[in-house]
Amino acid sequence: MKNDMIYYSVGALLYCPANKKTIADSVIHEKFGTKYSLALCLEDTINDNYVTEAEQDLISSIHQIFESFQDHPFYLPKIFIRVRNAGQIERLTKAFGESIKVITGYIIPKFTADNASSYIEEMIRANEQASRKLYMMPIYESSSIIDLRHRIDILYDLKDRLSHVEDLVLNIRVGGNDLCHMFGFRRHCDESIHRIRPVADIFSDIITVYGMDYVVSGPVWEYYSGYNWENGLIQELKDDKLCGFTGKTVIHPNQISVVNKVYQVTRSDFNDAKAILNWDKKSDSLVSGNLAGERMNEYKTHHNWAEKILFLAEVFGITD
């Protein structure tokens, strides 16, 4: 299990096309609030014929954010670049120059056995070039993990490859919409993706393979207005948490506060987590009812849970 807050701190990851010319202004003037991360996408959101132009728009936006941040402080989200191929990592890292200081890392789409080595090599090279640590967040969303005859072998093979750069892997991410697309599925705003069993089973296998060693983030939610969208998001977030996900991909600022609220830690969980981690090791008993007299706390059984709860409390806060 990850034992550093940064791995839990991505939270609500707001996706935005990399060629959106107003994005720098929105970040600088805190139009999305002060508790989110940002993904600037060069992949599916950009027409294949306009990639070069989108790269230039992106570079300009990053320079603008960096220069403004030098002049006056504002909330600087964790900024990630979703590339479309491994070669973009080196090219963009060089083009950002000193502005790389406002970049947290790169998002790797459709991470597979065919491209894993190239992406990992580029991330190692980028970290050698850059003036700061650059993280990677691979997305598991390709058709290769649908085939039940090979899925587990593929997941463990990719995990073995990532083990060489484990400290650079901030999160493992899942491509809910891409996986649904392959089956022709699309959930409505009152339906949780965890009810779509072929896709949910893929998520379950990813959590099983990676969940003990990495933070795995929840799939995108695409509804942000209209009847019942917020209740639908809340329900899916509860399902996400129960299944082992931390954080979520979002596509609209309206969704950010909902994600942050659902991931807040309850006061009772926080108190129990502290009690478990502060257990008297000299005690002859490692099990006890909690202070509220509501449930059992057991040091050996609940220690990992307690550590995670304290990280989440630090990132998202505590609710009564």
The DSSP element (H or E) to which 66 belongs, if any, is: helix 51-71
Average confidence score pLDDT of the chain = 96
Looking at domain 5-263, what is its CATH homologous superfamily? Phosphoenolpyruvate-binding domains (3.20.20.60)
Decide if pLDDT at 280 tops 80.
no
What angle do the packed helices 299-316 and 267-277 form, to 10 degrees? Answer: 130
pLDDT digits (tens, 9 = 90+) for 176-223: 999 999 999 999 999 999 999 999 999 999 999 999 999 999 999 999
Tell me the two tokens of residue 131.
Answer: 């003036």
- pLDDT at position 289, please? 79
What angle do the packed helices 197-210 and 151-162 form, to 10 degrees? Answer: 40
**Domain parsing of the chain, residue ranges:** 5-263, 268-319
> pLDDT grade, residue 117 (50/70/90)?
very high
- Flag whether the pTM goes above 0.75: yes
> pLDDT grade, residue 311 (50/70/90)?
very high
The residues with which 17 forms a beta bridge, in sequence order, are 41
> pLDDT grade, residue 291 (50/70/90)?
confident
Phi, psi values for residue 37, rounded to 5°: -115, 165
Quote the CA–CA distance of 79 and 70 in Å, as a whole number: 16
- pLDDT at position 112, please? 98
Residues that constitute the known binding site for Mg(2+): 178
Residues that constitute the known binding site: 178
Decide if pLDDT at 247 tops 80.
yes
Between β-strands 78-82 and 105-108, what pairing exists: parallel, antiparallel or unpaired? parallel
Nearest to 139 by CA among 114, 110, 113: 110
